[in-house]
Amino acid sequence: MLQVLISGLSLSAYYALLALGFAMIYSTLRIFNIAHAAVFGAAAYTFYFLYRVANVNLLACVLVTIVFAALFGLLIDFAVYRPLTARGGGTFNIFIASLGVATLFEAGALLATHGTPLVAHAGSLESISVGAVSFRMLDVIVVGSVAVLYGALFYAIMTTRTGLEIRALADNHTMAGVVGIDTNRARTSIFLIASALAGLAGILTVYDSGVVPTTGLNLLFVTFVAVIFGGTRRLFMGALGGSLVMGLVTAFAGFFFPQWVMVIVFVLLIGLLIARPQGFFA
């Protein structure tokens, strides 16, 4: 059981990266950004190509991929969401467009890879055993990195001018513009940060367990449930708390009822929406 708990904590870290970015865009801009999965997938495949095919240095691969993911997410906003908004497109129109971007990316990745699973690391990952429990060094690095990243982002959001603008958008988008906040600049910052987080999640996933074209959407669905579970009123606590719960749920469900994992996630989502639609940390 302790081994499953450790696996759940590791899964939670991956979910937390996607959840924070997804929740940041939704809570401030009210965009249900399904294309977040495309950013995740693009980062994963970019990292794989640079690291395994081009044999670029690991650190350089990470930095280049994160920058690429951030710019790709921003490009989606400038090429799709902003023009739609300028032409009077509402929330539903943007949602359909976002779903279209994610679907197009998935189809393109399927054509390019023929659905072959791609894993960036070669050989086995280093593990440590403590009594009857074993865990991988990668899991320690991932959980530690996510904890540090959450702390750094929380400090930045609470103390910097950009953070103040993001919080103002989350409270009241219209009023933020009225009081003189540059909403376009804040929006750009939000997409860059959120997309960079999705890029990091893509890097870690392709290095660890590998990806197929559908990995991004599958993970995003669980991430969406995590965001709903945690709520968006308290951005960091909601994303982290919801991700922790979903990581443990999927780990234990996968251990005891592997064929029922997504059914359990669906049941949890429906029950949560009925019992507490605002989220447990709202």
pLDDT of res. 265: 83
Domain membership of residue 175 (yes or no) is yes
CB 224 within 8 A of CB 217: no
Domain membership of residue 225 (yes or no) is yes
Domain membership of residue 78 (yes or no) is yes
Q: How many domains does the chain have?
A: 1
What angle, rounded to 10 degrees, do the helices at 183-208 and 137-159 form?
A: 170
Domain membership of residue 223 (yes or no) is yes
The C-alpha atoms of residue 242 and residue 173 are separated, in whole angstroms, by: 25
Domain membership of residue 282 (yes or no) is no
pLDDT of res. 169: 81
Domain membership of residue 203 (yes or no) is yes
Q: pLDDT digits over 148-162, tens only? A: 999 999 999 889 888
Closest CA to 198 of 76, 43, 63, 61: 43
Range of the domain at 202: 2-275
pLDDT of res. 124: 65
CATH number at residue 108: 1.10.3470
Tokens of 99: 């779903």
The C-alpha atoms of residue 273 and residue 65 are separated, in whole angstroms, by: 36
Domain membership of residue 202 (yes or no) is yes
CB 203 within 8 A of CB 62: yes
The C-alpha atoms of residue 11 and residue 5 are separated, in whole angstroms, by: 10
3-state secondary structure of 135: strand
pLDDT of res. 50: 96
Domain membership of residue 9 (yes or no) is yes
pLDDT of res. 132: 66
pLDDT of res. 114: 92
Q: Which stretches in the chain have pLDDT values below 50? A: none
